[in-house]
Structure formats: structure tokens, C-alpha cells
């Protein structure tokens, strides 16, 4: 998977939104598949127009580091999942909780080019990731 820094760099090279849109879809294609048994009601992210599933695993360290995996049934949303995972996966729970995703999404131009429903879905993904980080932090305490 690409790092969030790689994604930001690539976005800077793309001049128009159509190219960025295609790039987001490409990121989604590179997303490792989620196991079918992980696509269930417990992992489904509410608030998304398309179906989105997110799983998380904590390493149990102090502070815990979390690894996320995800999937969606829509191409563009799968790319948004890939961006969210690049931003958060592998980081410590405190880092996840202090990361300002809105600023990143704005800098990439996502907020201004996504439909309100997709923007709400992206916020729902971030809220789920942050919730999982808080739960892992509480469990480690």
C-alpha cells in the first residue's frame, strides 16, 4: 500500500479533478481484498451511501498500534477507504486520535469534489477508525 505522503505527492502532480478521480479509483484497485467473513454487520460502517466495511487489529502494546483493513462495493469509495487506511493504519492510538483528517482531505481537494453523501461517508469512516483507536487505548489502560 502507498503511504499518505506518497498519495499527497501524487495528488500534487495531478492538475485536474478528473485525473485525481481516476487516481482515487486506482488506489481502490490496489487495496488488498477483505476476507468475505469480515464483510458483515459488525464491520459495516453506518452513514455511508455505499457499503463500507472496516476491520481493526491492535498489537496490544502500550500505547497500542492499530492496523486497519477495509472494502467497499463502489470504486471511488474503495479509493477513499485506501486513503483513510494510508492515513491511519499502523499508527498508535494517540496518533490516530490526534490526526486531523479534515485538513488532509481538504488539502487533497476531496471535500470540494465529493458529493455531500460521500463526504459524510468519509467522516463516518474516520469516526469509526477513531472509535476503534479509543477502544484499544481504553483496553490497554
Instruction: For the chain, list residues with pLDDT below 50.
Output: none
Residues 74 and 118: their CA atoms lie apart, in Å, by 11
pLDDT in tens, 63-80: 999 999 999 999 999 999
CATH number for the domain harbouring residue 91? 3.90.1010.10
Could you tell me the residue range of the domain that residue 79 belongs to? 4-140
127: helix, strand or coil: helix
Query: What is the residue whose three cell numbers read 458529493?
Result: 115
pLDDT in tens, 91-106: 999 999 999 999 999 8
Residues acting as catalytic residues: 48
Residues 54 and 72: their CA atoms lie apart, in Å, by 9
**Cβ–Cβ under 8 Å, residues 85 and 31:** yes
Q: In the chain, how many domains are there? A: 1
Which of 38, 42, 31 has the alpha carbon at shortest distance from 2? Answer: 31
Amino acid at each position: 500500500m502507498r503511504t499518505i505522503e506518497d498519495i499527497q505527492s501524487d495528488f500534487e502532480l495531478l492538475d485536474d479533478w478528473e485525473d485525481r478521480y481516476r487516481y482515487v479509483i486506482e488506489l481502490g484497485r490496489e487495496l488488498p481484498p477483505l476476507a468475505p467473513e469480515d464483510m458483515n454487520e459488525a464491520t459495516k460502517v453506518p452513514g455511508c451511501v455505499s457499503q463500507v466495511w472496516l476491520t481493526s487489529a491492535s498489537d496490544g502494546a502500550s500505547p497500542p498500534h492499530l492496523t486497519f483493513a477495509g472494502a467497499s462495493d463502489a470504486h471511488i469509495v474503495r479509493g477513499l477507504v485506501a486513503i483513510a487506511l494510508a492515513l491511519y493504519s499502523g499508527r498508535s492510538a494517540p496518533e490516530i486520535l490526534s490526526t486531523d483528517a479534515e485538513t488532509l482531505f481538504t488539502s487533497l481537494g476531496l471535500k470540494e469534489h465529493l458529493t455531500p453523501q460521500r463526504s459524510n461517508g468519509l467522516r463516518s469512516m474516520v469516526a469509526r477508525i477513531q472509535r476503534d483507536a479509543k477502544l484499544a487505548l481504553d483496553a490497554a489502560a
